């Protein structure tokens, strides 16, 4: 059986934009669950989604545990051996409190790739295949979630740049790339999270890419 790790934030966790228990989509609705169903029984999908997770930054308000880089090594080694590591982070780096240019957010994703290559988390202690996924752009207006719009002031404009910047980072590090913005759109409900149809489309798109890697 092959194994793929999905490492991300609230959109990997399955933060719901419609009514769901605990405001979270069920496993079979979340994009990692869709990927599992698409890949079939010869694959095992491991979800590692944390709402609020950043690429490489401690969050001064939500906590140091939001730093994806600080947790990634332990995560990779605890789930080894891995065939594929799929990373989709960067949306939370758009928060105004970090004041980051889009290029620095992409560079943060690059640091995660470097760490994944050094973790000895692949088969026989090797390097797993790595898939970098650029999160889709935010929407300019965050629907009913005014608190998100305030938290992400200036984030929309930066989010439009992430696809091209992430593609360049993936090319530099020689890893696979998927621009989620070419497959889905963020929800009109809050401008940031994904509707059920977006989870379905993304899960199938990621599965198609993963299947070519290992």
Place of tokens 């095992």: 44
Q: What is the pTM of this model?
A: 0.97
Interval 34-50: pLDDT, tens: 999 999 999 999 999 99
Total domains in the chain come to: 1
State percent of the chain over pLDDT 70: 97
Q: Tens of pLDDT along 41-98?
A: 999 999 999 999 999 999 999 999 999 999 999 999 999 999 999 999 999 999 999 9
CATH no. for residue 79?
Answer: 3.40.50.1110
Q: How confident is the model at residue 145 (pLDDT cuts 50, 70, 90)?
A: low
CA-to-CA distance for 67 and 112, rounded, in angstroms? 11
What is the arithmetic mean of pLDDT over 187-196?
Answer: 95
Dist. CA 51–CA 63, nearest whole Å: 12
Coil, helix or strand at residue 45: strand
Q: Which residues pair with 131 in a beta bridge?
A: 86, 176
Sign of CA dihedral 67, 206, 32, 40: negative
pLDDT of amino acid 146: 64
Provide the domain limits for residue 34.
2-211
User: What does the pLDDT read at residue 143?
Assistant: 60
């Amino acid at each position: 059986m092959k194994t793929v790790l999905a490492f991300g934030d609230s959109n990997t966790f399955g933060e719901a934009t419609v009514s769901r228990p605990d405001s979270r989509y069920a496993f079979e609705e979340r994009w990692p669950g869709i990927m599992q169903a698409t890949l079939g029984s010869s694959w095992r999908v491991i979800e590692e989604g944390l709402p609020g997770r950043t690429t490489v930054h401690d969050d001064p308000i939500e906590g140091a545990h939001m730093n994806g880089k600080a947790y990634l090594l332990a995560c990779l080694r605890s789930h080894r051996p891995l065939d594929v590591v799929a990373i989709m982070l960067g949306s939370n780096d758009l928060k105004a409190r970090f004041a980051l240019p889009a290029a620095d957010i992409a560079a943060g994703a690059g640091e995660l790739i470097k760490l994944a290559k050094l973790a000895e988390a692949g088969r026989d202690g090797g390097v797993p295949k790595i898939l970098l996924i650029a999160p889709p752009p935010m929407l300019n207006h965050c629907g009913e979630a005014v608190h998100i719009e305030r938290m992400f002031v200036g984030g929309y404009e930066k989010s439009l740049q992430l696809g091209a910047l992430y593609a360049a980072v993936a090319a530099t590090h020689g890893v696979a790339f998927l621009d989620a913005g070419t497959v889905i759109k963020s929800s009109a409900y809050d401008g940031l999270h994904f509707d059920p149809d977006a989870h379905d489309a993304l899960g199938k798109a990621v599965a198609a890419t993963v299947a070519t890697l290992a």
